[in-house]
Amino acid sequence: MQNKLYLKCLLLFGLVLSSAASLFTVSASAASDEGWQIEPVFTDKQTGRDYYNARTWRNGSMEGRVLFVDKEGSWRALPEKYVDIFPDERSGRLYLGQNQVQKGLITNFYDPSTDRVTRQRVYESSPDGKYGISLEKSYLSSQLRNNYTLYIKNMQTGESRKWHETSKSMWYLWLPDNRLLVQWYSESEKQSEIVILNPATDKVERVALAKMEAYDAKGNRLLISYNEPTRKSYVLNLADRRVHKAGQAEIESFYKNTEPLPVTKTVVPAKREPNIDPAEIPAIEVQEETVYEASITVDGRTILLPYGYTDVNNNTWLPLTPLAEALGGKVEKEKSSGFQFDVGGKKYTLNESNSEIVFDRLHVSIKTLRQFGLSVEQFRWITPKH
Neighbouring C-beta atoms of residue 241, cutoff 10 Å: 9
Q: What is the pLDDT of residues 240-276, one digit of tens each?
A: 999 999 999 999 999 875 656 566 789 999 999 999 9
Is residue 144 in a domain? Answer: yes
In a domain, 206, yes or no: yes
> φ, ψ for residue 241 (rounded to 5)?
65, 20
Whether residue 223 has pLDDT greater than 60: yes
Same domain, 100 and 134: no
Q: Which of 273, 289, 305 is the last residue of a domain?
A: 289
pLDDT at residue 105 above 60? yes
Q: Is 89 in the same domain as 192? A: no
Q: What would the mean pLDDT of 142-164 be, rounded to a whole number?
A: 86
Residue 133 in domain: yes
Say yes or no: 66 and 85 in one domain: yes
pLDDT of residue 89: 84
What pLDDT was estimated at residue 246? 96
- Reading phi first (left if > 0) and then psi (alpha if -120 to 50, else beta), residue 27 is in beta
The strand pair at 287-290 and 116-120 is best described as parallel
Are the CB atoms for 63 and 107 separated by under 8 Å? no
Position 263 scores a pLDDT of 65
* Residues 143 and 244 both lie in one domain: yes
Q: Are residues 268 and 313 in the same domain?
A: no
Residues 355 and 299 in one domain: yes
pLDDT at 120 over 60: yes
CB-count burial class (<10 Å; 0-12, 13-18, 19+) for 168? middle
Whether residues 200 and 314 fall in one domain: no
- Let me know if residue 6 belongs to a domain: no
Q: What is the pLDDT of residue 143?
A: 58
CATH number at residue 238: 2.120.10.30
Structure confidence at residue 146 (pLDDT): 74
pLDDT over 50 at 348, yes or no: yes
117 shares a domain with 135: no
Residue 66 located in a structural domain: yes
Question: Residue 3's pLDDT is what?
Answer: 47
Establish if 195 belongs to a structural domain.
Answer: yes
pLDDT by residue (tens digit) across 162-214?
998 888 888 899 999 999 999 999 989 999 999 999 999 989 999 999 999 99
Return the half-sphere exposure (C-beta side, CA atoms, 13 A cut-off) of residue 36: 22
- Indicate whether 241 and 271 sit together in one domain: no
pLDDT value at position 38? Answer: 97
Q: Could you list the residue range(s) of the whole structural domain that residue 61 is in? A: 13-122+263-289
* Shared-domain flag, residues 222 and 268: no
**What is the Cα gyration radius of the chain?**
23
Give the pLDDT band (50/70/90) at residue 32: very low
- Alpha-carbon distance 298 to 295, whole Å? 10
Q: Based on the fold, state whether residues 113 and 133 are members of the same structural domain.
A: no
Which of 46, 81, 50, 44 lies closest to 67, judged by CA? 50
Per-residue pLDDT, 104 = 55
In a domain, 4, yes or no: no
> Which pLDDT band holds residue 7 (cuts at 50, 70, 90)?
very low
Q: How confident is the model at residue 144 (pLDDT cuts 50, 70, 90)?
A: low
pLDDT at 145: 65
How distant, in Å, are the alpha carbons of 41, 148, 339 from that of 84? 10, 24, 31
Whether residues 131 and 235 share a domain: the answer is yes
pLDDT higher than 90, residue 91 = no
- The CA distance from 318 to 347, in Å, is 19
Q: Give the chain's mean pLDDT.
A: 86
Here the contacts of 62-68 (C-beta below 8 Å, separation 24 or greater) are 62/20, 62/26, 63/99, 63/279, 64/97, 64/99, 65/278, 65/279, 65/281, 66/96, 67/38, 67/274, 67/278, 67/281, 68/112
At which of 227, 254, 281 does a domain end? 254
Instruction: Point out the least confidently predicted range of 253-267, 270-284, 342-356, 365-379.
Output: 253-267
**Cα-based distances in Å from 141 to 84, 101, 312, 358, 363:** 25, 14, 23, 11, 16
Domain count, the chain: 3
Whether the pLDDT of residue 15 is over 60: the answer is: no
Q: Is residue 335 part of a domain?
A: yes
Query: What pLDDT, on the 0 to 100 scale, is given for residue 352?
Result: 85
Nearest to 1 by CA among 261, 263, 265: 261
Residue 258 confidence (pLDDT): 60
Residue 271 has, within 13 A of its CA and on its CB side, a CA count of 3
Q: How far is CA 36 from CA 52, 87, 275, 328, in A?
A: 12, 22, 12, 40
More confident residue, 7 or 262: 262
